[in-house]
Structure 1
Amino acid sequence: MHPPAGDKTYRALPAVRHLPYALYRADELRALDRAALDESDLTGADLMERAGQAAYRLIRSRWSSARSLTVLCGGGNNAGDGYVVARAAVGHGDQVRVLTLVDPARLRGDALAMAQVYRAAGGAIEPFAGLPQRTDLIVDALLGIGLARDLEGPWLAAVQAVNAHRAPVLALDVPSGLDADTGAMRGDAVRASATISFIGLKVGFFTGEGPERCGRIHFAGLEIPATTLARVLPSARRIDWRRVADRLGPRPRTAHKGTFGHVLIIGGAPGFSGAVRLAGEAALRAGAGLVSIATHPDHARCLNLTRPELMVHAVDTAADLAPLLERATVVAIGPGLGQGAWGRDLWLAVVSLPRPLIVDADALNLLAEAPAARADWVLTPHPGEAARLLGESTVQVQRDRPGAVSRLQRRYLGVVVLKGAGTLIDAGPPRPPAICSDGNPGLASGGTGDALTGIIAALVAQGLDPDEAASVGVCVHARAADVAARDGERGMLAGDLIARLRAVLDGQDRR
């Protein structure tokens, strides 16, 4: 049997049903591994056996008709897991080829023991010289969480060979070449159909290149007791709509429009009216009681023609903002603001305003020119804006997104939302940063970030604190995009997402 190439098709975000919410760095996982051994009668070989057997059970469940397996092994504990998988497959009567990049004689410890047990069970080990043309499944056991440098030589060639092959791929613990801490690729990384993670989920699975490279994520806790897990605090947490939905309770029957706050959105320089309009409509759909838009006189008259619920005000100078600011519960600034004299004046009028602020788009670029810090704002940069705020390159930001969002929060305070595949939210200590695991590539279109600004502003207006509003806002935004993507990701518009907000927020979407 030769599986169709479709089994390896790109998945922008991993499927993550019923997974833990704690996310760990590699050093934290090593500490958990040590704690598990210190606090029980378990040995490293026991954990390796459990990992390999869990991986083989997944193979039989997910690829039940697969009968020929190719297992790629390296030289560490990840290879030991691979040898357990290979032995289990031999015992099941599968055709197994183990291809190694490390001479088995150089193996040490538990990995050596597992290779010897595999050989004793009748298994053969061959040096890697390319992948067989036909195999039902490739098991990636080349490298684990300890990758410290970019791939090169035969390691890089092996990863590239896996990605060029048509067979599906199961990665053990982490796709080889993916940095488990940051989600960056170290030269290249295996593009897996599925990844089975042992003991704890890795931060890098859910941001950067991780969502593309991991495929569907499965988890095997290896029966580590909860008391052991509690000894190591995770460095990040995963969030999704399922996790945060209960932060929005039912609305009181005595509610009126003033109950749910008044959002003021400032933006829309000449020629850029669409962004502020999308933010305003998203704020309405996310439940704000009132939404006002302060925009340039050139298009104030027409901005709400098809959405009369938006209260639009022509603002020629910063002085025109004063009566609007007095009535606002929360202010969002940036969508379509521009960096000309008009936008700069409005930005200077609100940057020190004693109201919660949501800061996006060109307002972030103006902030980068004259940095300031305050505790009650939410900054929502995409990677390019984040780079300007940090004085770095976009490549540097994307190479370590968790590190970048933490640097932004330390510099500017408040809550920072670093948008992208695996959006991160950081409000500073004591809570660890959050990573949203919902969403899809349909979000990669103009206007979706403006919608997020409106959503977060509406949630602050309804009484959520900035951290809660950012977390709930990111998740409902991503979930609404997932609902909209049932009609297709390609060509999805910000308006399609906005149209699904009510169903998600009110619990009408049950699929």
Structure 2
Amino acid sequence: MSTLSTSSLRPLYTAAQVRELDRRTIAGGIESFALMQRAASSAWHSFRSRWPHARSVTVICGSGNNGGDGHVLAALARQSGLKVQRISIKPIEVLQGDVARAAELATAAGVGCEPWQPDTTLVGEVIVDAVLGTGVAGYVEGEVRRAIEAINMASQLVLALDIPSGISADTGAVLGLAVEATCTVTFIGDKIGLHTGDAPAYTGEIDFRPLGVKARAFFDIPPTAWRLDDVLLAEVFKPRARTSHKGSLGHVLIMGGAPGLGGAALLASQAAARLGAGKVSLATAPEHITASLVSCPEVMARSVQGGADAGLLTSQVDVVVVGPGLGQGAWGQAILQSALTSDVPLVVDADALNLLASRWPDMRRDNWILTPHPGEAARLLGCSVADVQADRPAAVRTLQKTRGGIVILKGAGSLVAGPSGLMVCPYGNPGMASGGMGDVLSGMLGTLVAQCDTLEQAAWLGAMVHARAADDAAKATGERGLLASDLASYARVLINP
């Protein structure tokens, strides 16, 4: 397979980094108010491209630069013939700097302005959220909170400027309350917090507008993360050599399926087979062998009574996936120990992660991929799920630093942390909230580890193929009732572009 690079991926930044990009752009000769006008013009273009037939708009402006963008957009809307309701959280008489200048521009364009009142009726066909920008600190409260409540209670479509008010630009967490936007148009540098945590439920479609700022030209401001893109699939999954054979395409061993827990290991092994491994073996409890032979005879199912049996298999394969249906009893502990004593690359999931947290709290190795969901990540970190979700980027970086290898923190906007930095997966949908999805991911990862140059490359591709397959399946038949076993056939299409 080809080696991946980040050159074709969109960089993601923190709020502080974007403010620095903004500052340097202004220092380079673009007046700050001109940059505000450019942002508002881009937002107006985004508005018009989505709602060309809208005849009225409500713009709710805060007192910061985000509010300034809103005032200028209100002027542009009025000049285009729309009926504009402009609402200011603070009296425009107390505004300062570029925000005051923007408010004056809107007034000069004939746009009225009314002060925010809790009983204000929002009358525009579309509401523009220009209340808070990326610099918000702490939980929203007071009049700002009540304005957000009013936006969310209204039935209109919502365009958020730069970020939905109340979302952290760095973590994606909701700061008490956040605007539920239909679309978010974001400026200069895309923000990591728009793509993970709670944010995907609030941003709607994300429209990135760089405003002519070439962020990558500032080499001393490295992106905090990168957004995975399916353009990588065509780069990596080239036609196979005509002389390929099963021995050259990797041998994956799935270890799992404790007595009474066979389904997860079967799902993982079948997913591994569908992703193109030359050989797939399954080490599972004796009672699951018949089910495996019936459901996927191509998988070489092996009956294992304990760690000694399993240990004989690890030396014969290229990668071991351990955890699906493993259980935390004596059988699972013995199987995991046999995997951990081998030197082949590992994909560690499910109960194997819980056992790592409880029985191997200090183990670290460079040749494994850990795939926790927030609950498993919390147990590995010794914190609460709320702590993990409050700052997912920090949580996954900490796990990777302490445990080594590659860590995939699953959930909305899955994060992949490794030596090259942080990746965000923008794909996936609520239909994935069903049993077995993580098992299918671990099987896919096992096959990709066996075929890719690095574990990190395999993790990027695995997270992306898994989520994209779920999106394709949901597009075909809907989100409700999506099963983990549905993904493999869609994933197979993706890896054969």
Note whether the superposition's TM-score is higher than 0.5: yes
Following superposition, the deviation at residue 395 of structure 1 comes to 0.8
Paired letter, 1:378: I
Paired letter, 2:254: I
Following superposition, the deviation at residue 106 of structure 1 comes to 2.1
Of residues 38, 49, 62 in structure 1, which corresponds to 2:37?
Answer: 49
Of residues 486, 493, 503 in structure 1, which corresponds to 2:493?
Answer: 503
Check conservation: 2:367, 2:455, Cα contact below 8 A. Answer: yes
Of residues 88, 94, 102 in structure 2, which corresponds to 1:100?
Answer: 88
In the alignment, the residues of structure 2 paired with residue 447 and residue 361 of structure 1 have an alpha-carbon distance, to the nearest angstrom, of 10
Following superposition, the deviation at residue 229 of structure 1 comes to 4.3
Structure 1: tracts of 5 or more residues without a match: 1-18
Cα RMSD over matched residues?
1.4
Of residues 196, 204, 210 in structure 1, which corresponds to 2:199?
Answer: 210
Paired letter, 1:286: L
In the alignment, the residues of structure 2 paired with residue 403 and residue 64 of structure 1 have an alpha-carbon distance, to the nearest angstrom, of 41
Identity value in percent: 47
In the alignment, the residues of structure 2 paired with residue 223 and residue 187 of structure 1 have an alpha-carbon distance, to the nearest angstrom, of 33
In the alignment, the residues of structure 1 paired with residue 435 and residue 202 of structure 2 have an alpha-carbon distance, to the nearest angstrom, of 25
SS of 2:295's equivalent in the other structure is coil
Change (3 A) 1:240 1:325: same
Following superposition, the deviation at residue 311 of structure 1 comes to 0.7
Residue aligning to 2:444: 455
Following superposition, the deviation at residue 188 of structure 1 comes to 0.9
SS of 2:226's equivalent in the other structure is strand
Residue aligning to 1:69: 57
Residue aligning to 1:363: 352
Paired letter, 2:140: L
Following superposition, the deviation at residue 222 of structure 1 comes to 1.0
1:405-451 residue CA offsets vs partner (Å, 9 max, x unmatched): 001101101000000110100013xx220001111111111111100
Following superposition, the deviation at residue 125 of structure 1 comes to 1.4
Check conservation: 1:174, 1:196, Cα contact below 8 A. Answer: yes
In the alignment, the residues of structure 2 paired with residue 112 and residue 303 of structure 1 have an alpha-carbon distance, to the nearest angstrom, of 69
Q: Does 1:388 align with 2:379?
A: yes
- Within-5 A mapping of 1:163-312: 163-225=152-214, 228-312=217-301
In the alignment, the residues of structure 1 paired with residue 54 and residue 426 of structure 2 have an alpha-carbon distance, to the nearest angstrom, of 30
SS of 2:84's equivalent in the other structure is strand
Q: Does 1:416 align with 2:404?
A: no
Q: Does 1:321 align with 2:310?
A: yes
In the alignment, the residues of structure 2 paired with residue 199 and residue 485 of structure 1 have an alpha-carbon distance, to the nearest angstrom, of 32
Structure 2: tracts of 5 or more residues without a match: 1-7
SS of 2:288's equivalent in the other structure is coil
Residue aligning to 1:150: 139
Q: Does 1:465 align with 2:454?
A: yes
Q: Does 1:119 align with 2:110?
A: no
SS of 2:90's equivalent in the other structure is coil
Check conservation: 2:173, 2:199, Cα contact below 8 A. Answer: yes
Check conservation: 1:182, 1:399, Cα contact below 8 A. Answer: yes
Which stretch has the larger CA shift, 218-227 or 416-425? 218-227
Check conservation: 1:196, 1:218, Cα contact below 8 A. Answer: yes
Residue aligning to 1:377: 368
SS of 1:375's equivalent in the other structure is coil
Residue aligning to 2:47: 59
Paired letter, 2:195: F
Check conservation: 1:260, 1:463, Cα contact below 8 A. Answer: no
In the alignment, the residues of structure 2 paired with residue 322 and residue 176 of structure 1 have an alpha-carbon distance, to the nearest angstrom, of 54
Residue aligning to 1:3: none
Check conservation: 2:233, 2:495, Cα contact below 8 A. Answer: no
Paired letter, 2:94: R
SS of 1:139's equivalent in the other structure is strand
Following superposition, the deviation at residue 75 of structure 1 comes to 0.5
Residue aligning to 1:406: 397
In the alignment, the residues of structure 2 paired with residue 460 and residue 426 of structure 1 have an alpha-carbon distance, to the nearest angstrom, of 16
In the alignment, the residues of structure 2 paired with residue 282 and residue 333 of structure 1 have an alpha-carbon distance, to the nearest angstrom, of 14
Of residues 473, 478, 481 in structure 2, which corresponds to 1:491?
Answer: 481
Which stretch has the larger CA shift, 462-471 or 285-294? 462-471
Check conservation: 2:84, 2:124, Cα contact below 8 A. Answer: no
Following superposition, the deviation at residue 133 of structure 1 comes to 5.1
Paired letter, 1:65: H
In the alignment, the residues of structure 1 paired with residue 216 and residue 301 of structure 2 have an alpha-carbon distance, to the nearest angstrom, of 56
Check conservation: 2:57, 2:123, Cα contact below 8 A. Answer: no
Residue aligning to 1:347: 336
Change (3 A) 1:326 1:218: same
SS of 2:366's equivalent in the other structure is coil
In the alignment, the residues of structure 1 paired with residue 81 and residue 258 of structure 2 have an alpha-carbon distance, to the nearest angstrom, of 69
Following superposition, the deviation at residue 306 of structure 1 comes to 2.2
In the alignment, the residues of structure 1 paired with residue 122 and residue 101 of structure 2 have an alpha-carbon distance, to the nearest angstrom, of 30
Residue aligning to 1:397: 388
User: How many positions carry a matched residue from both structures?
Assistant: 486
In the alignment, the residues of structure 2 paired with residue 69 and residue 302 of structure 1 have an alpha-carbon distance, to the nearest angstrom, of 60
Residue aligning to 1:4: none
Check conservation: 1:193, 1:215, Cα contact below 8 A. Answer: yes
Check conservation: 1:245, 1:472, Cα contact below 8 A. Answer: no
In the alignment, the residues of structure 1 paired with residue 396 and residue 390 of structure 2 have an alpha-carbon distance, to the nearest angstrom, of 12
In the alignment, the residues of structure 2 paired with residue 222 and residue 284 of structure 1 have an alpha-carbon distance, to the nearest angstrom, of 46
Change (3 A) 1:388 1:262: same
Following superposition, the deviation at residue 20 of structure 1 comes to 6.4
Check conservation: 1:284, 1:290, Cα contact below 8 A. Answer: yes
Following superposition, the deviation at residue 225 of structure 1 comes to 3.9
1:199-241 residue CA offsets vs partner (Å, 9 max, x unmatched): 0111011101111111011111111246744442110100032
Check conservation: 2:256, 2:324, Cα contact below 8 A. Answer: yes
Following superposition, the deviation at residue 118 of structure 1 comes to 1.2
In the alignment, the residues of structure 1 paired with residue 78 and residue 102 of structure 2 have an alpha-carbon distance, to the nearest angstrom, of 14
